Amino acid sequence: MEREVPMACIKSAAVRQLLVFPLFLLLFAAYAHAQPQGEPEESGNEAPETIVVTASRIPIASDQAGASFTVLDEDYLDRRQALTVEELLRGTPGVAVSRSGVLGTFSQVRMRGAEANHTLVLLDGIEIADPALGGELDFSHFLAANLRRIEIVRGPLSALWGSDAVAGAINLISAPENFGRSLTTSAEAGQFNTRRGALSGSAGGDGWGVGFSLDHLSSDGQNISRSGDEDDGYRNNTGHVVARFDPSGQISLRLIARRSQSESQFDATSFLTGIPADSDSSTRRIHSVVGLQGLATTSGGRWTHRASLTHTGSENRNFASGSETGETSGDKLNLSYQSTFLFPRFARSDGDGGVSPSITIGLGHEREDYLQRAPASFFGDPNRDLSTQSTDALAEFRLNARG
């Protein structure tokens, strides 16, 4: 249910949540440090491939996933050399990708015939859908550089990930497993005066690591209107940072931040003909994501606690002939906690295989703010300030059988 909330109250609530989260992590760390740590069980069998947390609320082996999924690994991503994520998703089973025009124009990804905002999109576990775009992500502005892995899980996942995952989930993973010392730069040029440049690096040591990337993409574009010969260009500048700090063997903290600024030129649709005609129109966008995630392990590795505080923000401004014609912006703040307990393994009577039960419970609170500004006209006043809030709880029980 939507209700209007004064912006002052919203900012005050945000400040309180930001102050509560660090205190929560400190209590978390103290509790974890006080627990006796045992040695994890050894296994003589090599663990099968795992798919982080997209098909479940915990990392599980690929043969334990109950949903249909596709994994695009780092080798595949390197071979494709794609400009944007939408190019990587084309051809994936059960996924339909559509783009409304040239490079930089609105792009949607649909799963199994559902709407685009029925697919949950994550970046290292952080929801990144545009709150000012009806809860979906415009994939044309998400550059593919420095991604390590993409997981696509098809089918309804709302019981695990909420109402945004009606059709499935896509998890874009950028955080490396190990932060080695590196510095890489690249530059490319191609048709339509398309240019791409990138600079990335990382460093790490005992208990810490940090990586960054700076990416630029621009193109003079093409002309799609039937009248005139004006090309519709595009440019995108994106910065991305991942940092990890492990104060002890049982506590791990991770920070993820990403910001992209882009501008797309387009031809407005003529009211007389209903088709695009040359015009000096453009849209400027800012999309930002920041998340702080904490993990604590107790009881010899059997009990894990995860807490996160994330923020996703966007600003979209439309221009015609150099003058601003309208603006939409949105913010999404999410606070969540998850606890998983792994029970001892129960072996079969013949000693061949068994089950390893686990139970996961979680709590989350989310608030979305939406703002729209445009000149009032005969058709009405489009100016809006809206806020919605939701609280959710989940429980997942797994047997994790082994033959």
The answer, yes or no, to whether residue 18 has pLDDT greater than 50, is no
Please state, in angstroms and as integers, the Cα–Cα distance from residue 135 to each residue in 12, 44, 127, 313, 371, following that order: 24, 45, 10, 12, 14
Q: What is the mean pLDDT of the chain?
A: 84
pLDDT at position 143:
94
7 confidence band (pLDDT: 50, 70, 90): very low
The answer, yes or no, to whether residue 30 has pLDDT greater than 80, is no
For the record, the structure tokens of 75 come out as 């080798």
Better-predicted residue by pLDDT, 138 or 61: 138
Question: Do residues 108 and 136 make contact, with C-beta atoms less than 8 angstroms apart?
Answer: yes
The answer, yes or no, to whether residue 84 has pLDDT greater than 70, is yes
Q: 291, exposed or middle or buried, with CB in 10 Å at 0-12, 13-18, 19+?
A: buried
d(CA 390, CA 332): 11
pLDDT at position 255:
97
pLDDT at position 352:
53
The answer, yes or no, to whether residue 354 has pLDDT greater than 80, is no
- Ordered by start, the domain boundaries in the chain are 7-32+48-402
For the record, the structure tokens of 156 come out as 């309804």
Please write the tens of the pLDDT for every residue from 270-279. Answer: 777 777 777 8
Please write the tens of the pLDDT for every residue from 355-389. Answer: 678 999 999 999 999 999 999 888 889 999 999 99
Average pLDDT over residues 227-242: 90
Superfamily of domain 7-32+48-402: TonB-dependent receptor, plug domain (2.170.130.10)
Average pLDDT over residues 100-128: 91
Average pLDDT over residues 159-175: 91
Among the listed residues 379, 371, 340, 377, the one whose alpha carbon sits nearest the alpha carbon of residue 358 = 340
pLDDT at position 126:
93
66 confidence band (pLDDT: 50, 70, 90): confident
Please write the tens of the pLDDT for every residue from 259-270. Answer: 999 999 988 777
pLDDT at position 51:
56
Average pLDDT over residues 309-313: 97
pLDDT at position 58:
82
pLDDT at position 353:
56
pLDDT at position 15:
43
Which segment, 9-18, 155-164, 235-244, 273-282, is predicted with the most confidence on average?
Answer: 235-244
The angle at the Cα of 20, spanning 14 to 24, to the nearest 5 degrees, equals 145
| Lowest pLDDT segment from 210-214, 221-225, 250-254, 323-327 | 221-225
Please write the tens of the pLDDT for every residue from 86-96. Answer: 999 998 999 99
Backbone angles phi, psi at 261, to 5 degrees: -125, 130
The answer, yes or no, to whether residue 181 has pLDDT greater than 70, is yes
